[in-house]
């Protein structure tokens, strides 16, 4: 556990700071580093997961291990594929800045702003904040900085490559039928 965490490899830089209600844990092998920001919980084993446990589960099941975890967290696995995994409801989202073939990841916008020479403003993000009081989706008030989405595995080595492992609401067939009915009224 630490107050500040920094890690860099050839394509990813990570900077995290410790808040009042969050811990940062790291586990390294020769080829893989796992960072846990928050508190993931394994539903089958009924236990809190450490960075070491996540690495072992990932090596056994691959990224499908996300089907069996809950809690509030962001997990970064740096190795053959660099991935960012966010909790199902997005309590501990991280921000990403893609720049010159690198990805900078942080829980604080101010760290990424220091590394974004353009500092260009995202008008949609500003409008969302003014009219709604929050910003929708992955946008932020800066066009080059994006927020990780809840329940998502983001592949840090590939821009725009992400997959949802969790959907908050899944519509069953009766709800879909009702929706179709209401559309035609």
The DSSP secondary structure of 93-153, one letter per residue, reads --EEEEETTEEEEES-HHHHHHH-SS--B-HHHHHHHHHHSS--TT--SBTTEEEPPTTEE
Read off the pLDDT of each residue in 98-109 and give the average, rounded to a whole number. 86
The confidence score (pLDDT) of residue 2 equals 45
Strands 83-86 and 152-155: antiparallel
Task: Tell me the β-bridge partners of 98.
Answer: 103
Spatial strand order of the sheet with 4-8 comes to 4-8, 12-17, 102-106, 95-99, 145-147
Query: Looking at domain 4-183, does it have CATH number 3.10.20.30?
Result: no
The confidence score (pLDDT) of residue 84 equals 92
Any idea what the Cα angle at residue 47 is, between residues 148 and 50, rounded to 5°?
Answer: 55
Read off the pLDDT of each residue in 101-113 and give the average, rounded to a whole number. 87
Does residue 136 contact residue 45 with C-beta atoms inside 8 Å? no
Using the predicted structure, report yes or no on whether residue 1 has a pLDDT greater than 50.
no
Q: Express each pLDDT in 22-51 by its tens digit.
A: 678 888 888 888 888 888 999 888 899 988
Q: For the chain, which residues make up each domain, given as ranges? A: 4-183
pLDDT more than 90, % of the chain: 24
């Amino acid at each position: 556990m630490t107050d500040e965490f920094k890690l860099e490899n050839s394509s990813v830089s990570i900077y995290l700071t410790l808040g009042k209600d969050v811990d940062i844990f790291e586990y390294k092998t020769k080829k893989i580093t796992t960072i846990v920001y928050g508190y993931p919980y394994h539903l089958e084993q009924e236990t809190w997961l450490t960075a070491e446990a996540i690495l072992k589960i990932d090596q056994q099941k691959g990224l499908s291990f996300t089907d069996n975890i809950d809690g509030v967290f962001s997990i970064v696995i740096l190795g053959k594929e660099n991935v960012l995994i966010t909790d199902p409801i997005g309590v501990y989202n991280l921000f990403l800045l893609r720049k010159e073939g690198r990805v900078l990841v942080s829980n604080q916008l101010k760290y990424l702003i220091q590394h974004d020479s353009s500092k260009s403003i995202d008008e949609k993000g500003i409008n969302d904040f003014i009219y709604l009081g929050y910003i929708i989706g992955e946008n932020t008030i800066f066009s080059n900085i994006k927020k990780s989405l809840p329940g998502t595995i983001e592949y840090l080595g590939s821009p725009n490559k992400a997959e949802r492992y969790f959907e908050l609401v899944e519509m069953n067939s009766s709800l879909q039928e009702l929706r179709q009915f209401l559309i035609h009224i």
